[in-house]
Amino acid sequence: MSLVSGVRARIAAVPVLAVFIAVFAWGIGPLLFLAPSISINSILFYRVLFWPPLLYLIARRGGKQINKKLFRSVWLPGALFGVSTIFGFTAITETSVANATIIGNISTAMVLFAAPKFLNEKISKWQVLLAVTSFAGVVAIVVGAGNTGGSSLFGDFLALVNALTWTFYFISSKRRRIDGVDTWQFLYGVSVIQTCVVVPYALATSNDILQISWRDLGFLIAMTLFSGTIGHSFMLWAQKYVDASVSSLILLLGPVISSVGAWLVYGQNISAMQVFGGAVVLASLAGVVRLSSTVKISRDVLSTADPLLNSNP
């Protein structure tokens, strides 16, 4: 290898490293979410309030303006994002982190089934077969978990509803997004509508919002800055240089990071059946993504790494 080609290889590896950093940031999000002592609904209250001001500063960089047209475009995706946030975050506290994160990832398969009708995309029979196989893996996860490691059927159901809601969110975003709108402005608009959905819910269902401690505040700030903003920033930059099929495959490491972290930090055990089911789900989704290179399908349909459409904590 020549000196020039060696330098080029190192430069090309930097965006891939950025993807890994983003996936790690998103992977530890559920672990940070379980750390505060206040209730789940109070965490939701502060979590969604902290993000829009930060996104506003980023969206206005360089003197860019935010107009009413943006909010007219994002009200439906933002509302769905808010509902997905409620179900997704609650699922993490009602079932094991492994179940919540792996079941949530089958939204990729759900989007695949919706692609022909709603996004005018073509899919192959093998992709459909692999998507169905991923659902079989979810069944194995639920059956294998039982009531061990913090798992529960109710929490698994919430994770499934989150995946379904996220699918509608994805589709509505792709169908309604303003052509040429700045990425961070779009994300800011979605976060504002998300706040309008989540805050009333949190206020109506929480009784310890004012009991937040400095420790809780620290974890909430870490969620906002690290899992939210840093994760999105690194992925946004890397997506300009890394093929969507590659970043999507790397993103499948997220549930693995979350599951191992929950085992190490919170002692959430994982059964052999859960490991098998999770492997089936992730391998099936990996196959779906890899087949996208031979089927003419929009990169956004299979790219769950799209930072605009990621509903991780």
Res. 103 pLDDT band, cuts 50 70 90? confident
Q: Which residue has the higher pLDDT, 303 or 72?
A: 72
Length of the chain in terms of residues written? 313
More confident residue, 159 or 65: 159
Looking at residue 259, its pLDDT comes to 81
Domain ranges of the chain: 14-309
Q: How far apart are the first and last CA of the chain?
A: 42
Q: Using H for helix, E for strand and C for coil, what is the string for the chain?
A: CCHHHHHHHHHHHHHHHHHHHHHHHHHCHHHHHCCCCCCHHHHHHHHHHHHHHHHHHHHCHHHCCCCHHHHHHHHHHHHHHHHHHHHHHHHHHHCCHHHHHHHHCCHHHHHHHHHHHHCCCCCCHHHHHHHHHHHHHHHHHHHHHCCCCCCCHHHHHHHHHHHHHHHHHHHHHHHHCCCCCCHHHHHHHHHHHHHHHHHHHHHHHCCCHHHCCHHHHHHHHHHHHHHHHHHHHHHHHHCCCCCHHHHHHHHCHHHHHHHHHHHHHHCCCCCHHHHHHHHHHHHHHHHHHHHCCCCCCCHHHHCCCCHHHCCCC
Task: Give residue 19's pLDDT.
Answer: 78
Q: Higher model confidence: residue 16 or residue 93?
A: 93
**What predicted TM-score, i.e. pTM, was given to this entire model?**
0.77
HSE-up (13 A, CA, CB side) for residue 25: 24
